[in-house]
Amino acid sequence: MSTPELVASPLLGGPLATEEDAARSHDRARVHHARSQRRHWRLLWLLVGPGILAMLGENDGPSMIAYASDGAQYGLGFFVPFIPILFAMAYVVQEMCMRVGAVTHRGYGELVLQRYGRAWGLFGAGDLTLTNLVTLIAEFVAIRVGLAYFQLGAGVAVALGMALVVFTLSGGRYWRWERIVLGLALFNLLFVAAAILVKPDVGTLASSFTFSRFPGGSFNTLLLLLASTIGATVTPWMIFFQQSASADKGMTPTDVRHGRYDTALGAALAAVCGIGALIAGAALLAHGDSGIQGFAGAGFPQALTRVAGGAAGTVFALGLIEAGAVAILTISASTAYAAGECVGATHSFNSSPRGAALFYTANIGVALLAALVILIPGAPLLSIALNANVLATVLLPVSLVLMVMLANDRGLMGRWANRRSTNVVGIAVIAFVGMCGAAYGIDSFLQAVHVVGS
């Protein structure tokens, strides 16, 4: 499909250039310069972004709460090695997204819609909109939880989240948006700081990597934690986001190697920060505090303050605010990409709000809709936050199957199509995610209708 560094000229009868092309070309000029000068670190700096943002964006409010809940209920034993395995799975999926975006220069939504028919494209967009809306509500809840620790209310959470969305969208450049969100995303490392502040036992931490202890407790609770932990690492929005962002960034097949570095770095950082939240949560284990109670208030940070001191609670609260804020930016962006792709309208941060009205409206609109929900008195915020990742896990298999189909499509991908080994791992990931999500959904339903006991 693509010939690396192929030229196109409006003067030679090629495609006409738009403002979006001009902005992307400007970014590509820096990449070409760095590559020609063999400035490897500069090249890496220019090409990282979508992978780190997808991975750290998924280390969002509900995810960090899920990791901390795992730690608070089961300790370190099972989940410390489980989290890196999940992020290795996420790498396999996200690498495919990056590769398809770089080779085809198109987003996931539009490719599915055009290649496999409107029904599949619209199903994917519908699933995405539902899970994104629920997850965005949970992100605002996370910000609210973090702010509640500092005695600030829901109104401040809404104002902060919306101000960030509007601020990052101003400028009409993908590069600007990406760098601002990357800067914010690095504060995910606050969870590592929280882990250090709770002073974990190094011996216990090291022994947890042996994978020896399987968590006890009820079967349904374990399934919930598995499903929500999987939902904390691979979700539909990540698939839409990384493919669309890779295309929007202007990545080409020559950048695939650096795209892999970007995705692997994001996975490693996200795993480390996730384990940080798990360790911080595990500090509550010995104190008989399940941690998730009082989520609508300041649950975890206050519990940590009681157990490990004010610094740990403060850092965890700030981490929740950051996790929620970054996820609001990336998830609303994925919704905007999907809306533009499915309608066939302009969908790029490199376009002005006037040139891509739907893209900008969807970006702000979905965030605003979620923000308004947390202002509703008595809204079941705790349940929404806990179920956001589960719903994402349940809806994920169809998106994953279509992703693997796209990555195998030699008509689109040519020599960049999946290898057999990638397919084997990809199919194993789909089977695992599908089984965990389905097992939780069916078991919970049977309990809810009193067919089986809890």
Partner 1 sequence: MSAIEERDLQRQERFEDDLIMHLERDQFVAETSRPVPRAPLSTRASAWLWALRVFVVLVSAMVIYTFVAGLH
The owner of tokens 């008595």 is 378
The CA distance from 220 to 443, in Å, is 7
Task: Give counts: helices (H), strands (E), the chain.
Answer: 20, 0
Minimum CB–partner distance for residue 419 and partner 1 (Å): 20
Cβ nearer to partner 1, comparing 233 with 246: 246
Angle at 223 between CA 221 and CA 196, to 5 degrees: 75
CB of 184 to partner 1, least distance (A): 28
Min separation Cβ 241 and partner 1, Å: 17
Number of C-alpha atoms within 13 angstroms, CB side, residue 43?
17
Q: Which is nearer to partner 1, 190 or 251 (CB)?
A: 251
Q: CB-wise, 205 or 446, nearer to partner 1?
A: 446
* The token pair that represents 369 in the structure block: 């809709």
Among residues 189 and 345, whose Cβ is nearest to partner 1? Answer: 345
Cβ distance to partner 1 smaller for residue 275 or 404: 404
User: In this complex, which beta carbon is closest to partner 1, that of residue 104 or of residue 168?
Assistant: 104
Residue 91 CB, shortest distance to partner 1, in Å, is 23
- If the CB atoms of residues 116 and 162 are measured against partner 1, the closer one turns out to be 116
We find the least distance from the C-beta atom of residue 272 to partner 1, in angstroms, to be 30
Give the CA radius of gyration of the chain.
21
CA distance 95 to 259: 8
Between residues 85 and 448, which has the closer beta carbon with respect to partner 1?
A: 448
Helices 61-74, 79-104: crossing angle, 10 deg rounding:
160
User: Residue 35 in contact with residue 294, Cβ under 8 Å?
Assistant: no
For residue 431, the minimal CB distance to partner 1 (Å) is 11
Residue whose pair of structure tokens reads 């956001």 in the numeric block: 388
Of the CA atoms within 13 Å of residue 254, those in its CB half-sphere come to: 11
End-to-end Cα, the chain, rounded Å = 54
Residue 208 neighbours by CB under 8 Å, 6+ apart: 75, 76, 77, 80, 81
Distance CA 232, CA 90 (A): 10
Closest distance to partner 1 from the beta carbon of 440 (Å)? 8
CA 279 – CA 198 distance, rounded (Å): 8
- Residue 213, Cα to own-chain centre: how many angstroms? 28
Residue 63 Cα distances to 59, 177, 206, angstroms: 6, 23, 23
Nearest approach in angstroms of CB 82 to partner 1 is 22
- Measured CA to CA, the distance from residue 261 to residue 263 in angstroms comes to 6
The residue (of 204 and 221) whose beta carbon lies closer to partner 1 is 221
Q: Where along the sequence are the contacts to partner 1 (CB under 8 A)?
A: 1-11, 14-18, 20-22, 24-26, 28-29, 32, 104-106, 110-111, 114-117, 120, 123, 247, 250, 252, 344, 346, 380, 383, 387, 390-391, 394-395, 397-398, 401-402, 405, 409, 411-412, 437-438, 440-442, 444-445, 447-448
The nearest distance, CB 298 to partner 1, in angstroms, is 22
Q: Which is nearer to partner 1, 124 or 291 (CB)?
A: 124
CA distance 351 to 366: 19
Q: What is the DSSP letter of 39?
A: -
Minimum Å gap between C-beta 355 and partner 1 is 10
